[in-house]
Structure 1
């Protein structure tokens, strides 16, 4: 019994050692991450990223990476406040940071921050990638199965017939008077982190993802936009200008249709090329 237990322990230690070494040499890429895993992928990557996009699920939907050293650090149901704080705390500063402004009002995902920057495990995570949540062996198996299903066409896309109903619900939700004190607190926290990054040489550029005009005119977004413009004026802060003269269509009021998505990505890349930054194609 003791022999079998000893053999099992030795085998387990060898497996974990080899697995950790493989992760260190060949980090896993192109995974489907949740918020904590995506933040881990950025913070503990050994790659230095030149261009980073932060935002909500809207920027994740677009995936606007512009070079081989870009990272899309998006947080569905939250937004840029979380991404900017992750970057500031990690001290892993990109050359250029693009900040999506649509859902600043969602504030910061404190669970991500607490999980990621716990001083108790932070240093250990840097040398033992196997303990990162994104590198859980069971998750890797699920990813292989998911990739197999996608490759063989087993995924089925079900389109909702209730888009109009969803937009009406969103109109009612976004027309509520926002908590101005909380909004200003979130923007103040964002500004503090943005200024930290700017002082370290990072160029910070703001952009807004187009949504249904009915929603963009809702009270929440109007108040939020006014507060953001008051805090982050054109100088010294920089903004990607709106795409004038084009009506963007959405699937549900928030997420662009495939055609509008391509139009906006082309507009975004055109405006980025006008900026004083260097990009390298894939």
Structure 2
């Protein structure tokens, strides 16, 4: 459904790799609601993904940039303002990556060089985007910046690894920078804590299929889909949410406020007669069973 909620607005969307990406869905919805955007990803991701096809589909310029590199971000934002004809109104940060997860390193045995990369790509890059945009005075008054997060920033989830630390930092950056940007220029900064969603990044999380099923059973409204997340982003880019800032907004069907649901309990009861390896004697330090 199109309501012209973003008519005349301009934005930058990071992270649209393929049609499964939430950023891809947001870009399509923003275009449908009347916005013009530029798309950005790393040059490697642009070559390997389908970002250029999306650019053709919604008539958006694709500008390669490493979001961890300040010079790249300066070039991206300047070129975006040139392509869009002035300051922008919204930014979506949909970026996340953990070499520790990719390499199968357990949380109790992290490679710290990998951890530095996880934090830089998945969280510090958000600070860099905000800092560069502020220094270039690139965002219009009452503009909106969103980064995608997950409830593992507040709770422990088996297999989520150092991405949980990155998401916690991401949300802290939104609060701290949100105060500064809000007081100075009425720009709002928020994070959306989305349900587990089938994306290229999501599928890299250990036990993701079971996590998806568990959250579906726990959530009164069920998991929020990528398309539904895109709709939510549109409302936060629009003028209907001008006084919402510094928030971590849960978009998860109610999962974040649940203790135990009947559907999850019934599924648990089905397995009570089966032996669980986690009931065995405690593992040695190098087994990493609980990581």
Which of the five TM-score ranges fits, normalised by the shorter chain? 0.3 to 0.5
Question: Which is richer in helix?
Answer: 1
Question: Which is richer in strand?
Answer: 2
> TM-score w.r.t. structure 2 length?
0.40
Larger relative CO (CA 8 A, sep 6+): 1 or 2? 1
Higher Cα Rg, which structure: 1
> TM-score w.r.t. structure 1 length?
0.41
